[in-house]
Amino acid sequence: SSLNICISIYTNCICTINIYIHEVLSMTKNDRAYRIADRLYWIFIENTHPSYLNDYIEEDPDNPQGTRNTERGRELFNEIESFVKGTL
């Protein structure tokens, strides 16, 4: 039934969150800050209008399937990471 599917999905989400929390708590402060900053940065990128994405990321010539941060993207990431480090 759809209720069983919802309960299963909920249980899987809770397990995933618990694993993530355990991983984060076992990290150093710098590792936690990097991981949190990375997620916040990609949330920002994923919600940025496509016409502005080139301000933050560009194609990576060393990895035809990938991207890399532009200078502005690196500055934004570093600012987020610095804020997170100061908050932890």
pLDDT (tens digit, 9 = 90+) per residue, 12-71? 666 666 666 777 778 888 998 998 889 999 999 989 889 999 999 999 999 989 999 999
Contacts for 62 with CB less than 8 Å, ≥ 6 apart? none
14/21 Cα distance (integer angstroms): 10
pTM: 0.69
- The pLDDT score that the predictor gives to residue 1 is 54
pLDDT tens-digit series, residues 2-29: 555 656 656 666 666 666 677 777 888 8
Q: Which residues contact 76 (CB under 8 A, 6 or more apart)?
A: 41, 44, 56
**CA distances (Å), 79 to each of 1, 29, 39, 62, 69, in order?**
47, 16, 13, 25, 14
Residue 79, pLDDT > 90, answer: yes
Extended beta strands in 3-86, E state: 57-60, 63-69
